[in-house]
Structure 1
Amino acid sequence: MGNNILITGAAGYIGGSVLANFISRTSGPIKAAQISAAVRSEEQAQKLSKLGVNVIQVDLVDETAVKEAVLRNEIDIVVHTASAIDGRIPSHLIKALGQRRKVSGEETYFIHSSITTLFSEEGGWPYGQVRDTDTVFEKEKEIGGPHPVRQTNILVTEQAKAHGVTSFNIVVPHVYGRGSGEWRKLSVSIPAYVRTSMAHKIVYKFDKDGHPPAAHISDLIELYALLVEKILQKERIPSGEEGYYFAMAHRTPWWAAMDRIAQSLHARGLVAESKPSIWPSDKMAADYLGFPVLYVRAMGTSSGDLVPVNAYRLGWKPKWDEEQFLASIDDEVQAVLELDTVKATIFDLLTSADK
Structure 2
Amino acid sequence: MAPNILITGAAGYIGGSVLADLLSSSSNAIREANLIAVVRTKEQSQSVSELGVNVIQLDLSDDPGVREAVLEHKIDIIIHTASSMVPQLASSLIQALGERRRVSGTDAYFIHTSVTSLFSKEAGWPYGEIRDNDPILGKQKAIEQPSPVTLTDIIVAEEAKKQDVKSVNVVVPYVYGRGTGQWRKLSVNIPGFVRTSITHKTVYKFDVEGKPPAAHISDLVALYNLLLEKCLLKEPIPTGEHGYYFAMAHRAPWWEVMNRLAKALYARGLVSGPEVYTWPSDAMAAEYLQLPELYIRAMGTSTGDLVPVNAYKLGWKPKWTLEMFLDSMDDEIQAVLDLDKG
- The alignment's TM-score, normalised by the length of structure 2, stands at 0.98
Offset, 1:313: 0.6
Equivalents in 1 of 2:20, 2:201: separation in Å? 35
Equivalent residue, structure 2, for 1:132 = 132
SS at match of 1:198: helix
Equivalent residue, structure 2, for 1:69 = 69
Tell me if structure 1 keeps the 8 A contact 2:140–2:146. no
Aligned residues: 342
Tell me if structure 2 keeps the 8 A contact 1:174–1:212. yes
Tell me if structure 1 keeps the 8 A contact 2:2–2:34. no
Equivalent residue, structure 2, for 1:237 = 237
Equivalents in 2 of 1:271, 1:86: separation in Å? 38
Equivalent residue, structure 1, for 2:332 = 332
Matches within 5 A, 1:209-288: 209-288=209-288
Equivalents in 2 of 1:60, 1:12: separation in Å? 14
Equivalents in 1 of 2:178, 2:122: separation in Å? 28
CA gap of 1:169–1:103, structure 2 versus 1, over 3 A, is: same
Offset, 1:25: 2.1
More moved, 231-240 vs 143-152: 143-152
Please state if 1:167 is matched with 2:167: yes
Please state if 1:90 is matched with 2:90: yes
SS at match of 1:154: helix
Tell me if structure 2 keeps the 8 A contact 1:166–1:239. yes
SS at match of 1:169: strand
Counterpart amino acid of 1:82?
A: A
Counterpart amino acid of 1:14?
A: I
Equivalent residue, structure 2, for 1:5 = 5
Equivalents in 1 of 2:116, 2:146: separation in Å? 17
Equivalent residue, structure 2, for 1:112 = 112
- Give the share of equivalent positions with the same residue, in percent: 63
More moved, 222-231 vs 100-109: 100-109
Please state if 1:298 is matched with 2:298: yes
- Measured against aligned partners, the alpha-carbon deviations of 1:259-278 in whole angstroms (never above 9, x if no partner) come to 11111111111111211111
Equivalents in 1 of 2:5, 2:92: separation in Å? 16
SS at match of 2:122: coil
Equivalent residue, structure 2, for 1:57 = 57
SS at match of 2:167: strand
Equivalent residue, structure 1, for 2:203 = 203
Offset, 1:146: 4.0
Offset, 1:2: 5.7
Equivalents in 2 of 1:259, 1:87: separation in Å? 38
CA gap of 1:66–1:144, structure 2 versus 1, over 3 A, is: farther
- Measured against aligned partners, the alpha-carbon deviations of 1:131-150 in whole angstroms (never above 9, x if no partner) come to 00100110011114141111
Tell me if structure 2 keeps the 8 A contact 1:2–1:106. no
SS at match of 2:38: strand
Equivalents in 1 of 2:27, 2:310: separation in Å? 25
Equivalents in 1 of 2:159, 2:293: separation in Å? 30
Runs of at least 5 residues in structure 1 that lack an aligned partner in the other structure = 344-355
Equivalent residue, structure 2, for 1:351 = none
Runs of at least 5 residues in structure 2 that lack an aligned partner in the other structure = none
